[in-house]
Amino acid sequence: MNSESNLLPKAHVPGIPPIVDLTLEQIAAGLDEEQFTTEDLVSTYLARIAEVNDEFNAVVEINEDALIQARELDEWRRTQGRKSILHGVPFLLKDSIVTTDKMQATAGSLVLIGAKPSREATVVTKLRAAGAVILGKANMAEWANFRADTTLAGWSPRGGQAKGIYYRGARPHVSSSGTAAAVRLGLCFAAIDSETDGSMVKPAQAHNIVTIKPTTGLVSRASCIPLADTLDTIGPMTRFVKDAAKILKVIAGKCIFDAVTDKIPHDFEPDFNAVCSGITLNGIRLGVPTNFFRDEFPESVLETFARALAVLEEAGASVVHEANIVGVDEYMQLDLWSKEVVMHTDFKTSINRYLQELHTNPYGIKSLDDLIAMTKSIPEEEATSRGTELWEAARGTTPDDANYLFAKEREWRLGNEEGIPGAIKNLKLDALLMPSVPKQSTHFAMFQGTPIIAVPLGFYPADQPLKKRTNGDVYESGPNFPYCLSIWGERFSEEKLIRIAYCFEQLWTPKVTIQPFRMPITELKDWSAF
């Protein structure tokens, strides 16, 4: 991993807050007022990565041109003003998001080293146009955690095993573990990530940060390595709701290279920034689908959730309890293959498309069959011990199979009238709220691509017993593990969800605040010349 983070820091300057606590508005103001430069920001983040990445494996690659880009952006600001509020702000990208610079985009795999489509990801192009710095790539579970049931979440042969940051041995959670850890540790200002089924909201919870998982189609997925074209979405990870909203405003919109963005309504002109201005929720109706999490969480979590509901009620919202999702019981009784056949089939179709569209393809892989064979041929992929059984199951699927078509029809029902939108519509709600991210709940948001926001809520008590995951030597829960408030909505209801999330964030006071067990110590003031 290349970086220039060994440069000597500049003189200390008092008065600059810890970099991990800076908001987007504070960074923009600091740059505008010449308290520090983009080069100072990039240097600070590179130094922080160098301090702790050996412990957490959060970052897999540094953009070797990041400091050059920073200096160019500083010169642009001096001579032409800032391009946007993101001008000079450093971002990390999930390793599945393609750039046309020297960095790789491999979804954690060694098979895709050197392989790229002809176009950069639309989301990256938008960030660059807004003046953002692409700092590097974050580690992820290989192939978005879709290779084998035995593979530990957060592992990739390219980046190693990503680690939890609140307890040694804690599960970092599904594919976006590196990006979430990097945001909370202050290894970047923000990150751009993807989700199919929980890959953003679960790591955000595990690392005590904010994420907005947008409606599928609100943000282009063009030139991003897919898990399933019909299900994937792209969104921001940040420390604060308002910052995530501002980033979403920049990256959202239609794209000629992603047909799913055509589903954005013609009259959809949200102002995500404007809804981050008040702390009242008068007229907002919130539902609690108790049947999704009954008996799942300890009393400490439920008590904190009840306190959160009271805060929202004090802000003017009304809360409807037992706003249950009709299809939960049906779905929970399905066998595993009935739940997975759609994702397996769509993965095969999507990855075949992506591989066939590659502009550079050193290994010449064109299909899932090629991918399996090449993965098994590379020792570092550890195919013998870690397996490829999810791929093996996917290779036999076809989109005209009766089981697939029946499952698609069922998922349409469970994603509409018998799912989250149905509960919201039938009870005239604005959103649903749940403590944490209940098991299999993200499936219901995946079915029809409905949005979720995760906001930090609390921490398990210090005497919470450690609980190991059944298929790995990692801890699922334990002392001081964070959990979130999750906010669920209908398609393209992000404006409502952001308003609720922002209001809650402003009013909420957690009983305790726990820091990761190891944090970098390099600060922006160590580099600033002002």
Task: Report, as residue numbers or ranges, the catalytic residues.
Answer: 94, 175, 199
Three-state SS string over 369-386 comes to HHHHHHHHHCHHHCHHHH
Within 8 A by CB and 6+ apart from 270, the residues are 492, 494, 495
Q: Which two tokens stand for residue 530?
A: 């002002």
Run of H or E residues at 62: strand 59-62
What letters, b where the CB count within 10 A reaches 16 and e where it falls short, cover 460-470? Answer: beeebeeeeee
Using CA atoms, how far apart are residues 197 and 218, in angstroms rounded to an integer? 17
Cβ distance 41 to 82 under 8 Å?
A: no
Cβ distance 46 to 213 under 8 Å?
A: no
Beta strand pairing status for 133-138 and 155-156?
Answer: unpaired
Helices (H), 161-298: 177-185, 201-206, 241-251
Within 8 A by CB and 6+ apart from 373, the residues are none
User: What count of other Cβ atoms lies within 10 Å of the Cβ of residue 293?
Assistant: 20
Using CA atoms, how far apart are residues 39 and 311, in angstroms rounded to an integer? 41
Strand order across the 318-321 sheet: 59-62, 133-138, 90-94, 190-195, 233-238, 210-213, 452-459, 482-488, 431-435, 285-288, 318-321
Phi, psi of 167 (to 5 degrees): -160, 130
* C-alpha dihedral, 393 to 395 to 398 to 402, nearest 10°: -20
Counting beta carbons within 10 angstroms of the beta carbon of residue 396, is it exposed (0 to 12), middle (13 to 18) or buried (19 or more)? exposed
Using CA atoms, how far apart are residues 399 and 373, in angstroms rounded to an integer? 23
Beta strand pairing status for 467-468 and 318-321?
Answer: unpaired
Phi, psi of 430 (to 5 degrees): -100, -25
